[in-house]
Amino acid sequence: MSVQTWTYLLVGITFALYIGIAIWSRAGSTKEFYVAGGGVSPLANGMATAADWMSAASFISMAGIIAFAGYDGSVYLMGWTGGYVLLALLLAPYLRKFGKFTVPDFIGERYYSNTARMVAVFCALIVSFTYVAGQMRGVGVVFSRFLQVEIDTGVIIGMVIVLFYAVLGGMKGITYTQVAQYCVLIFAFMVPAIFISFQMTGNPIPQMGMGATFNDGSGVFLLDRLNGLSTELGFAEYTDGSKSMVDVFAITLALMVGTAGLPHVIVRFFTVKRVKDARKSAGLALLLIAILYTTAPAISVFSKINLINTVSKQPYIDMPLWFKNWEETGLLSFDDKNKDGLIQYLADPNQNELTVDNDIMVLANPEIANLPAWVIALVAAGGLAAALSTAAGLLLVISSSVSHDLIKKIFLPNISEKGELWSARIAATVAVVVAGYFGIHPPGFVAAVVALAFGLAAASFFPAIVLGIFYKKMNKEGAIGGMIVGISLMLFYMAKFKLGWLGEIPDKSEWWFGISPEGFGTVAMIVNFIVAIVINKFTPEPPLEVQEIVEHIRIPSGAGNAIEH
């Protein structure tokens, strides 16, 4: 069978599976819609969290980014996993004990203020929309390459599928579809990696193959060869980066803290039964995530070596079929500057003739390594699973922020359960349409936008939640002030240094403290903490009953009854 037939088959089967699960797990109450009824097992929640978490960026873009960034790519590996340690230790158990439906819900109750709730809703919407746009774009990219449709058509197909199960099933539908999506995406990621690792090194475990020698009897380590090839072509050594240490530090911290502050991840821990289940499922989630995250850098090494060997100084007319296929999508391009018919892939931009988009490295990897057609099709199904699962989780945050925090808690407190459920569904529908619009008219390329969402989450939620749990006397004035200053500062820095909304984008040398926009979440977070604590010193203490709530959430037992305070 051809790649095309396999792709239709595998994508068709997985989509049918997701829709089947959605019909089976329709939500009947708001509690089912928001937190899947609160009785999800730790393992199911771990799998769902992993799928929720691993987005189009993790699946499609990350290995490619690392392949081109080398050591600098470590910021994503450590940043997007280390955040789970913060989440498990500092947030998940306490938020589960608190037992509410959304993150703004926690902020609103803990800081006894609807203003705080509104600020949190605003932050949640900005973070989630920034992030979801990247996912819809990812869906479009996969569709356009593997099913030969326009990127825009791909985005619309993705919208319809997500709409179907997110609107019908709410959190309950999303949870069980995410469990299935985890299985699809991890299988799709690992199969080609194991094939290629075995092909190149004779060791089927990619994590070990990465540090092994070629199996051609030369006894040369892969990483040594890659360092040699990189310097030969004028790039930095692969195992050394070119970013400054302070920037690597700041980006890693911003991604970690951002991970812990992302509402769609936090809310997953509201779905388990007990506090101890929340802790355990955080551990399981990270374990399941780590399988992909320790494999990705191995794929980067394999695919970079394969790419250089296939193209460097080779005649253009001898290029294999995949090269032409990817040229058509515009993600790969060759410009024969010196007209010698050979491909020069070099660090020097004046002589380099090959432009490779990061996203290709995972998507084209099986083709570059000559793997069977079904493996290539599997990667398409996996990429879609990763993008759809994350998009659904984000849409739920958006719809619950609107229906629960805005409509029920602020504007229409007397709304019926049924009315709230319908407003959640309508909000989800509107959110899908807006996300689709951003997918078709993206504000930037996938990974850049996603990386900034972390900065925003780090700058807004993380300090307010941590202080809310660990600092009993933290009051609303401090928390609100901190969130507003934090997110405004981050938005300003993004607008100035990344998006160019405030005139021309200034040179790197003008970055504050030498920190890039991706890493600036760290600075904005520190400012948030400082502002919050200083304001807190000059304003009245929180009421006694709020301080009692804080003592209450520090004790793990009795979480099941904590829904109503």
Partner 1 sequence: MEDKQKKATAYWKENVRYLFILLFIWFVVSFGAGILFKDYLNTFKLGGFKLGFWFAQQGAIYVFVVLIFVYVYLMNKLDKKYGYNE
Residue ranges in contact with partner 1 by CB under 8 A: 66, 71, 73-74, 77-78, 81-82, 84-86, 88-90, 93, 207-208, 210-213, 221-224, 239, 245, 248-249, 252-253, 274, 276, 279-280, 282-283, 286-287, 290, 293-294, 297, 470, 551, 554-558
Of 207 and 231, the one with the shorter C-beta distance to partner 1 is: 207
* Token pair recorded at residue 145: 């390459």
Helix residue ranges, H only, 70-150? 74-86, 92-98, 103-110, 114-146
At closest approach, how far in Å is the CB of 544 from partner 1?
14
334 pairs with which residues across the strands?
354
* Token pair recorded at residue 311: 């193209």
Of 66 and 141, the one with the shorter C-beta distance to partner 1 is: 66
Q: Can you state the angle between helices 151-201 and 373-400, rounded to 10 degrees?
A: 130
Of 48 and 396, the one with the shorter C-beta distance to partner 1 is: 48
At closest approach, how far in Å is the CB of 240 from partner 1?
8
C-alpha–C-alpha distance, residues 263 and 106, integer Å: 11
Of 253 and 377, the one with the shorter C-beta distance to partner 1 is: 253
At closest approach, how far in Å is the CB of 37 from partner 1?
19
Helices (H) and strands (E) in the chain, counts: 23, 2
The H or E element that residue 278 is part of is helix 275-311
Q: Can you state the angle between helices 321-329 and 360-368, rounded to 10 degrees?
A: 160
At closest approach, how far in Å is the CB of 489 from partner 1?
23
Helix residue ranges, H only, 410-519? 417-440, 446-470, 476-494
**CA-closest candidate to residue 187, choices 284, 265, 288:** 288
Of 301 and 394, the one with the shorter C-beta distance to partner 1 is: 301
Question: How far apart, in Å, are the Cα atoms of 230 and each of 90, 304, 333, 351, 506?
Answer: 41, 10, 20, 15, 29
Of 57 and 494, the one with the shorter C-beta distance to partner 1 is: 57
At closest approach, how far in Å is the CB of 258 from partner 1?
15
* Token pair recorded at residue 553: 């959430």
Greatest distance between any 2 Cα atoms in the chain = 79
Of 239 and 242, the one with the shorter C-beta distance to partner 1 is: 239
C-alpha–C-alpha distance, residues 560 and 153, integer Å: 45
At closest approach, how far in Å is the CB of 285 from partner 1?
9
What type of residue sits at position 436?
A: G
At closest approach, how far in Å is the CB of 375 from partner 1?
24
C-alpha–C-alpha distance, residues 124 and 154, integer Å: 27
Neighbour count for residue 496 (Cβ, 10 Å): 18
Of 116 and 248, the one with the shorter C-beta distance to partner 1 is: 248
Q: Are 390 and 213 in contact (CB under 8 A)?
A: no
Of 79 and 439, the one with the shorter C-beta distance to partner 1 is: 79
User: Three-state SS for 30?
Assistant: helix
* Token pair recorded at residue 495: 């607008």
At closest approach, how far in Å is the CB of 38 from partner 1?
15
Of 500 and 558, the one with the shorter C-beta distance to partner 1 is: 558
Cβ within 8 Å of residue 320, ≥6 positions away: 310, 367
At closest approach, how far in Å is the CB of 52 from partner 1?
17
At closest approach, how far in Å is the CB of 174 from partner 1?
24
**CA-closest candidate to residue 197, choices 288, 295, 64, 67:** 295
